[in-house]
Amino acid sequence: MSAIYVLWLRELKRYLRSRVQIIGSLAQPAFYLLALGFGFNYVFEKAGQGSYMQFMAPGMIGMTVLLSAIFSGVTMLWDRQFGVLKAALVSPVPRLSIMLGRTLGGATVGVFQGVLILLLCMLAGFRPQHWFAVVSAFGFVAAISLSFAALGTMIGSAVKDMQSFQVIGNFMVMPMVFLSGALYPLSHQPKVLTIITTLNPLSYGVDGLRGTLIGSWHFSYLLDMGLLTCLGTLFLVLGAWFFSRLEI
C-alpha cells in the first residue's frame, strides 16, 4: 500500500508542477464552450430544448476528464525513455502496486481537471439543478477518470513509442467524444448512430453527469454507474496484465 501511495503522490506532484499541462488541458473545452455553447444556444432554445450551455457543460466535463485520464499513460513512455520506469520495475515492489499507483495518480489528475472545467462552465453561465448534485456528479467523474486512466495505462504498456500512443489515443478519443452525446442529444438519431452511441462507454459517463447535474437522463443512474464500474474493473485487469508483461 505504501508503494501505491508513493506512486500516486508522484503522479499528482508531477501534474501540479506542470502549469502548461493544467492550462493547455482547458484550452479545447474552453473553445467549445465559447464557440458552440454560445453559438448554438439560440438554435437550441428555438428547438424547445432549453439552454444549450446547460446541456453542453456536462459533456465538456466528461470530455476533459476522458482526455486527461487516458493521456496520463504518456507519462509511462516518458519514464520508460529516461529509465525511471526501469528503476521501479527492478525494485522489490510488486508490479501490480506500481501499476495501481500510476493509474490512481492519473485518475486523480482527471478528477482535478473535472473540478477545473466545472468551475469554467459555471463562469460561462452553467448552473446545476442543486448544489448537492455536484457531489453526486463527481461519482461519475471518478468512474470515468479511473476507467480511462486504466485504459491509458494499458495502451502505455502495450506500445513502445510516443507516436504510437498519440495515434491510438487520438483514434479512440475523438470518436468517443463526438459519439457520446456530449454535443448533441442521443434521442431521435438514425439507427446506426444509436447502436454506436450505445456501445460507446463515454456515453454512459456523459449521461450520468448530465442526469445528476441537470436532471436529464437518457439511460438511468443504475445502468450508467453499473456499466462504468464494470468497464473500469475490466480495464484495470487488462492494464495489470499488459503491465505485467512489460519489458524494458
CA distance to 58, 140, 146, 147, per residue, from 207 (Å): 8, 9, 17, 16
71-83 mean pLDDT: 77
What is the enclosing helix (H) or strand (E) of 158?
helix 132-158
Residue 212 CB neighbours (<10 A):
26
Neighbours of 192 (CB within 10 A): 8
Q: What is residue 18's predicted lDDT score, i.e. its pLDDT?
A: 64
pLDDT above 70 as % of the chain: 88
DSSP string, 3-55: HHHHHHHHHHHHHHH-HHHHHHHHHHHHHHIIIIITTTHHHHHHTT---HHHH
pLDDT at 50 over 70: yes
Which cell numbers hold the place of 44?
Answer: 437550441
**pTM score, whole prediction:** 0.89
**Across the chain, what does the average pLDDT equal?**
83
- Type of residue numbered 50: G
Per DSSP, 73 falls in state: G
- Tell me what pLDDT residue 24 has: 67
Residue 51, pLDDT > 90, answer no
Full domain range(s) for residue 46: 2-244
Q: Are 125 and 53 in contact (CB under 8 A)?
A: yes
How many domains does the chain fold into? 1
205 — pLDDT class (breaks 50, 70, 90): very high
